[in-house]
Amino acid sequence: MKKIFFLSLALVSLMACTKNENPLLVEQNTPYGVPAFDQVKIEHYLPAFEKAIAENEAEIAAIANNPEAPTFANTIEALDRSGELLNKVVGVFFNVIEADGNDEMNAIAAELSPKLSALSDGIILNEALFQRVKAVYDERETLGLNDEQMRLLTETFKSFANNGANLPEDKKVRLKEINQELGLLELKFSNNVVAETNAYQLFITDEAELKGLPESAKAAAKEEATAAGRPDAWLFTPKRTSFTPVLQYCENRELRKELLMAYTTRGNHDNENDNKDIIVKTMQLRVEKAQLFGYTNPADYILADCMAHDAKTVDTFLESVWGPSLAAAKREAAELQKMMNKDLPGEKLQPWDWWYYAEKLRVEKYALNEEELKPYFELNNVRKGAFGLANKLFGLNFEKLEGMPVYNPEVEVFKVTYADGSLVGILYTDYFPRAGKRPGAWMNNICNQYIDAEGVDHRPVIINVGNFNKPTAGNPSLLSMDDVETLFHEFGHALHGLMSKATYQSLAGTNTPRDFVELPSQFMENYCYHPEVLKTYAFHYQTGELIPEELVAKINKAGTFNQGFVQTELLSSSILDMDYHKMTSTEAFDVNAFEAESMKNMKMIPEIITRYRSTFYNHIFTTGYAAGYYSYTWAAVLDADAFAAFEETGDIFNPEMAAKFQRLLEQGGTRDAALLYQEFRGKDANPKHHMKRCGFID
């Protein structure tokens, strides 16, 4: 039950405040009930959290101490609907700190972390409250509940049981200590990654060192340097938008090495931002926590509520896809080595060479140069393509809203409606990097969808965040192929949140098992380079010309190119994640040695660096994907099979299949994920579609 124990980002309507009032604590007259981001100041957060926490504690006490006999309504529903004010404040603060944070907000987060952890523990470990939940759960078969109510009751009981309600008192005390410490460690880890990313700056003053780098990349680096007070130079950083073009195109091998190492060694420099000790302490606490609950390791504890259920199932799954991926990567490495031998006889292919020679090989084999494609992938057009796809499949319309309150001028806001004009939700997009934004791309709920006690359907407020190339003086934001896939991916998550039709917000939208939640996002990626979709958005930013058919053919012909690298890089991170979370000892360990041993055991080839090295692996040490990074590949099997269902009809926009998939999205976590998929497809997913898409089988 994520709402109670993970403090969901639910946010309901806020309305007008006077100059001296805290905008987080009073009603505000904003369009569609969005947060008054423009009125919120740093000094508002702590007082708002203090009041919201106190209010939530009073609500919980009222439920726990209710003299009436426990019922579904006065206990289970009441819990789901509690914390309204806290959810408002959380919805603003944690979205802003991720996308536009600063040192002051980080300090507030550090102060809040133990308080929020204590609140969560105070709910889950409240014996009187648990006994009421258990009483309702024990009578569940006699209550006449519908499917969603039964799901809420079951998930609520499991959340209490799996988070310590059944523990003896001494273990409850220790669990509270562990949870508080883990919260602070996760916060520190994330802050260190951001600090390391921002701290590194490489100024190049000789343009000859940038030979081969596209003019657009040089222009962006020049603007970054000018903004940093060095108009005489070009500035490069460990942000992907900065160093990726260097890896792909720059002839300067030492520069490629320098920037890749700067990226892959973040948090591993024995300085104030070093994350190695944090990882050790985090894993010690996670092992201890799992063993408090009678599990041997954190993986089995964490996976109990996922589709996979346990570490053994995940290991078996990863082994089944690792072998073909690694074999393909070895073939690709040999091919790149041959190409490199022409330039540098006797030199061994290194990780900083892979992207460079893969790009050259793509041009040689498919005459496909990614720089040739970028002019057709202007950010606004790509977003229109994603919007158009949602209209074609699900009948959604998107209208840009002007003058909306935002936390940064770069943020844009859209109203999403069905064909009849009824409101689906509000979508924020925030696509450009800035100093206070964490790396990567993500979707968040600012406000979950739910139906209140009066039957009013509160529509969600959703945000997509990215770190794409900023426009320069001469060019708009032009996306790489990977960026296009990322935009469609996060938009798929947004649709999952926007189209929700649940009663209870803890079951709405993306509140599903982790190894199911990536299905809607990865499903949308199948469309982004399909010829029928490309013709809706791939227009040259200067001429307005539609992408030529020969370029479209090249894109699709090269669809399986370099997939050994892509899958091996991804899966190695998944295996590393599982290796950490299958730990059973609370002894200290050497992080770099542990990682090296993991790579050795999986027989990782040295020409590829795992996608996330330990010291900047935010997914598993801060963002809730611990023992869960495998879910991207698990969901890839689902999404490839789901797209095959459309292809088998001969129409990738098949209305009947689209209606079935829409129904899957609308149900969120209200039903078992495996049953939802079987209802959509009529059978379990077949892994062959994923293997075929990667080019590993015919």
Active-site amino acid positions: 490
Q: What are phi and psi of 443, to 5 degrees?
A: -120, 140
| Interior/surface letters 115-125, b for 16+ CB within 10 angstroms, e for the rest | ebbbbbbbbbb
Q: By three-state DSSP, how is residue 474 classified? A: coil
**Is 309 exposed, middle or buried (CB count within 10 Å of its CB: 0-12, 13-18, 19+)?**
middle
For 422-473, give the secondary structure using H, E and C.
CEEEEEEEECCCCCCCCCCCEEEEEECCEECCCCCEECCEEEEECCCCCCCC
Sheet with 412-417, side-by-side order of all strands: 397-401, 412-417, 423-430, 461-465, 442-447
Three-state SS at 392 = helix
Q: What does each C-alpha distance from 176 to 182, 188, 292, 461, 526 come to in angstroms?
A: 10, 19, 12, 32, 44
Q: What is the distance between the alpha carbons of residues 172 and 168, in angstroms, rounded to a whole number? A: 6
Contact partners, residue 561, CB within 8 Å, separation at least 6: 358, 362, 365, 366
Nearest-angstrom CA–CA distance, 305 and 511: 12
Tokens at residue 87, please?
Answer: 């959810």
Distance CA 568, CA 323 (A): 9
Q: Read off the amino acid at residue 535.
A: K
Alpha helices in 547-654 (DSSP H): 549-557, 563-581, 591-601, 618-621, 631-647
| Partner residues linked to 457 by β-bridges | 451
253-264 vs 240-249: helix axis angle to the nearest 10?
Answer: 150
Which one-letter amino acid corresponds to residue 412? E
DSSP secondary structure letter of residue 376: G
Buried b (16+ CB within 10 A) or exposed e, 626-643: bbbbbbbbbbbbbbbbbb
Instruction: State how far the Cα of 31 lies from the Cα of 494, in Å rounded to an integer.
Output: 20
3-class state of residue 243 by DSSP? helix
Helix or strand or coil: residue 11?
coil
CA gap 613, 265 in Å, rounded: 8
